[in-house]
């Protein structure tokens, strides 16, 4: 609740970083509602977010079982096939899943893709370089990560457009009364068929590696496989798309920032961290349900209550970051939570950072006069509750 005792619409908070920052001045925990009307506790303070992310009384698995994400529209088998992944599990299941997935999704596998990712970036840029204007979101930020994660997983090229459409529709519907049940079922059935093909005819891509991943006599179950692949598609696509778009947007608002990075590309990795902090692609951590009653941030949480942890607000907490609204690649104090914290820290963080650095670096190098094609006030943000990204980003190339 806000100071007047009213429930806050979670979508209003997650689509507007300034709103979340304002809430911090009133306290670290507030009452909010999902788009489907379900009440949640919203954590906005940095220290309280760290505590919540580390608290085993807040269960990701219990949240999954509650049906809160899909509004109870999926049967348990279909829900598990879509969502029973690392983000929606607790130890010891989470420990086992992370160990198995880590065997397949290695840093070496990601780093080996660097030359190929650079080639894809150059080809995408070549495709619009002769035009005066480009919508960076549609023509660059969106196609790049879906190409990368599809290639990494081994999704056939002909299937990639519908895989992208399914994943975006599903994630946009979480917590909404309009959850796309038919798309979720169709996507699970597609993944089950693809996994069956890879069992019979394995390749060197990640889906085959996940099938092969074993720990003594243990392996990923059928539902764990489909849910892990869905997670990787969503995390590998939407978050990187948002990182690229949000980062370029921040640079275009103040051209001096872009000029500095062109002059000294070694600053780009630090700039990526500031993009992640200031405009967090994932504004809220995976939801959790309280398995017992306890107090957090001075607020009593009852067993069964749902809790949302705003990474976006925590990343702008002035108790952790001096002048938190200022873009500062030289910032040394404070560690952002854009990829989460604790046992649920994002396994795909190295891939997102690599794509963001290569993509934004290439844009700055190719287009020294890159600038916004419309006034910044005309840009709009997606209303999808669990992703923070621009709908479009029109840029003038020269």
Run of H or E including 289: strand 288-290
What is the residue whose two structure tokens read 């995390």? Answer: 235
Per the CB < 8 A criterion, the answer to whether 314 and 321 are in contact is no
What is the residue whose two structure tokens read 């990368």? Answer: 148
pLDDT (0 to 100) of residue 66: 83
pLDDT (0 to 100) of residue 346: 92
**pTM of the entire structure?**
0.92
Confidence of residue 6 (pLDDT cuts 50, 70, 90): low
Query: Of residues 385 and 114, which shows the higher confidence score?
Result: 114
* pLDDT > 90: percent of the chain: 68
pLDDT (0 to 100) of residue 98: 93
Q: What is the pLDDT of residues 264-279, one digit of tens each?
A: 999 999 999 999 999 9
Q: Enumerate long-range contacts of 124-130, CB under 8 Å, 24 or more apart.
A: 125/362, 125/363, 125/366, 128/397, 129/366, 129/397
Residue 272 backbone dihedrals phi, psi, to 5 degrees: -60, -40
Per the CB < 8 A criterion, the answer to whether 275 and 258 are in contact is no
**For residue 341, what is the DSSP state?**
-
For residue 20, whether the previous peptide bond is cis, meaning omega lies within 30 degrees of 0, is no
Q: Is the pLDDT of residue 190 over 60?
A: yes
pLDDT (0 to 100) of residue 215: 65
Distance CA 292, CA 322 (A): 35
CA dist 155 → 56, 141, 158, 160, 206 (Å):
35, 19, 8, 7, 9
What is the residue whose two structure tokens read 């990560």? Answer: 145
Contacting residues for 244 by C-beta, under 8 A, at least 6 apart: 136, 140, 141, 144, 145, 355, 356, 359, 360
**DSSP readout, 133-170?**
EEEHIIIIITHHHHHHHHHHHT--GGGHHHHHHHHHHH
pLDDT (0 to 100) of residue 2: 46
Mean pLDDT over 220-238 rounds to 90
Q: Is the pLDDT of residue 212 over 70?
A: yes
Burial of 398 (0-12, 13-18, 19+ CB in 10 A): exposed
What is the residue whose two structure tokens read 């080639």? Answer: 119
Distance CA 160, CA 147 (A): 8
Structure tokens at 260: 């500095």
Q: Name 205's bridge partners.
A: none
Mean pLDDT over 83-105 rounds to 91
Distance CA 202, CA 195 (A): 9
Mean pLDDT over 129-145 rounds to 95
Burial of 260 (0-12, 13-18, 19+ CB in 10 A): middle
Mean pLDDT over 283-294 rounds to 93
Contacting residues for 97 by C-beta, under 8 A, at least 6 apart: 85, 86, 89, 220, 224, 228
pLDDT (0 to 100) of residue 268: 94
Q: Is the pLDDT of residue 315 over 90?
A: yes
Q: In 10 A of CB 244, how many CB atoms?
A: 29
């Amino acid at each position: 609740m806000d100071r007047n005792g009213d429930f806050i619409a979670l979508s209003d908070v997650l689509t507007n970083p300034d709103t979340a920052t304002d809430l911090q001045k009133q306290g670290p925990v507030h009452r909010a509602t999902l788009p489907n009307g379900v009440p949640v506790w919203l954590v906005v303070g940095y220290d309280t977010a760290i505590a919540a992310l580390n608290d085993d009384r807040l269960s990701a698995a219990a949240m999954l079982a509650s049906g809160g994400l899909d509004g109870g529209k999926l049967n348990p088998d279909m829900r598990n096939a879509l969502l029973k992944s690392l983000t929606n599990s607790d130890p010891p299941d989470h420990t086992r899943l992370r160990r198995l997935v880590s065997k397949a999704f290695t840093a070496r596998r990601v780093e080996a893709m660097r030359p190929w990712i650079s080639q894809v970036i150059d080809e995408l840029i070549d495709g619009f370089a002769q035009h005066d204007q480009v919508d960076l979101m549609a023509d660059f930020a969106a196609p790049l990560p879906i190409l990368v994660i599809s290639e990494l997983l081994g999704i056939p090229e002909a299937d990639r457009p519908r895989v992208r459409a399914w994943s975006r529709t599903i994630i946009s519907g979480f917590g909404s009364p309009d959850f796309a049940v038919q798309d979720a079922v169709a996507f699970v059935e597609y993944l089950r068929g693809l996994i069956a093909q890879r069992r019979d005819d394995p390749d060197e891509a990640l889906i085959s590696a996940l099938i092969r991943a074993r720990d003594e006599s243990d392996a990923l179950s059928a539902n764990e496989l489909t849910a892990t692949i869905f997670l990787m598609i969503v995390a590998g696509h939407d978050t990187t798309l948002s990182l690229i778009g949000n980062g370029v947007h921040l640079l275009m608002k103040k051209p001096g920032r872009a000029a500095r990075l062109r002059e000294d590309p070694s600053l780009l990795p630090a700039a990526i961290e500031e993009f992640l902090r200031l405009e967090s692609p994932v504004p809220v951590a995976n939801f959790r349900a309280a398995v017992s009653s306890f107090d957090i941030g001075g607020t009593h949480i009852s067993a069964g209550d749902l809790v949302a942890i705003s990474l976006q607000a925590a990343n702008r907490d002035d108790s952790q970051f001096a002048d938190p609204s200022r873009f500062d690649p030289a910032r040394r104090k404070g560690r952002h939570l854009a990829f989460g914290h604790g046992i649920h820290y994002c396994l795909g963080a190295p891939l997102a950072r690599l794509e963001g650095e290569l993509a934004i670096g290439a844009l700055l190098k190719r287009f020294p006069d890159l600038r916004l094609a419309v006034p910044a006030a005309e840009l709009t943000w997606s209303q999808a509750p669990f992703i923070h990204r621009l709908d479009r980003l029109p840029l003038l190339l020269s």
